[in-house]
Structures are given as C-alpha cells and as structure tokens.
Amino acid sequence: MGLTDWLNPVKGFGVTFHTMFKKPVTTNYPEEKRPTAPRFHGRHQLNRWPDGLEKCIGCELCAWACPADAIFVEGADNTDEERFSPGERYGRTYQINYLRCILCGLCIEACPTRALTMTNEYELADSSRESLIYTKEMLLAPLTQGMEQPPHAMRLGETEEDYYRLGRTNG
C-alpha cells in the first residue's frame, strides 16, 4: 500500500484522455475505400486473348476442382464460321454461383489457359439468390483496345499453339 494508490483509477482516465489527441484508426468504408492486398481473392474474371477471343476452352477443370460445386461449365465445339476461342472447344455456358463459391482459388490453379483469374472486387451482396449466379456475360473481361467481340477468326496465329506460345521465345 503506497500513499498514491488512490491515484491509480485516475491514471486509467489519463489513458482515455490521451487517446482524444490520437488520430482515429477507423476507415470510413463506403466513402473511403482502401485497396485490398494485390492478390486478394475477389470476384472471378474470364480473360481474353489480345484479339478478343476467349481464353476459356470449356474443359471444366475449374468445375472439377471446386470444393463447393459452385461452377457450372458446358463446352461446345468451335466451327470455322463461329469461333469463340482458339482451338477446338470453348465454354458455351459458364456460371459461378457466388452463394456457394468460397473464393478459395482452386479453380484458378486448375485452369490450364489462365482463362479464369480473380479480381479484387468484393462488393457482391445482393437481395436474391438468382442474382448471385453470375453468368458468362457478367464474368467475361470487358473488351479493351484492339479487341473484337467474338465470334471471329483467329487473328494472332494459324493454330491455337501460336496463341499459347504468345510472347514466349523458348518452351
């Protein structure tokens, strides 16, 4: 027992008083959005080749890798008149059910053509189950400079192998 023990409770208020002069740590989320980690697992994206053809070949490996059975893919054959991706097949139907998807990224690991990757977008909440089943149109990357809406012929090579070797010198 010291003489100044009665001061101890007051010291506690000192801590409280001190924090009044500190900068608050709060992020004002809807107004101020802080970037996620660069490799954050957010909403998926179906990528395109530089000429606009889809990278997805409809192999369904993502659907097989999915632990939650959230992905539905249905492949179809490309024809010379109607070509969506280089090579033999393309994903005609592509759906991801975000009410099943746990954003684990196993589908991205499984994808042989890097057609499926993840974005940093995370604002997914919605008011019905149907609206959270994302279809192919919603998942496809937007067309950028130099891209053309498929179906169209292969512009960047004779065969699909030329596409897969794009930008590579060996191997």
The least distance separating another protein from the CB of residue 99, rounded to whole angstroms, comes to 4
Cβ 49 vs Cβ 86: under 8 Å: yes
Q: What span, in angstroms and rounded, lies between the C-alpha atoms of 73 and 29?
A: 35
DSSP state at residue 2: -
- Residue 58 or 154: the one with the smaller Cβ distance to another protein is 58
Cα Rg of the chain, angstroms: 25
User: Residue 32 interacts with another protein (CB under 8 A)?
Assistant: no
User: Residue 29 interacts with another protein (CB under 8 A)?
Assistant: yes
Q: Which stretch binds another protein (CB under 8 A): 18-26, 112-120, 141-149, 158-166?
A: 18-26
How deeply is 18 buried, as exposed, middle or buried, from its count of CB atoms within 10 A (0-12, 13-18, 19+)? exposed
Residue ranges for the known binding site for [4Fe-4S] cluster are 56, 59, 62, 66, 101, 104, 107, 111
Residues that bind another protein (CB under 8 A): 24-30, 33, 36, 67-69, 74, 93, 97-104, 122-130, 132, 135-137
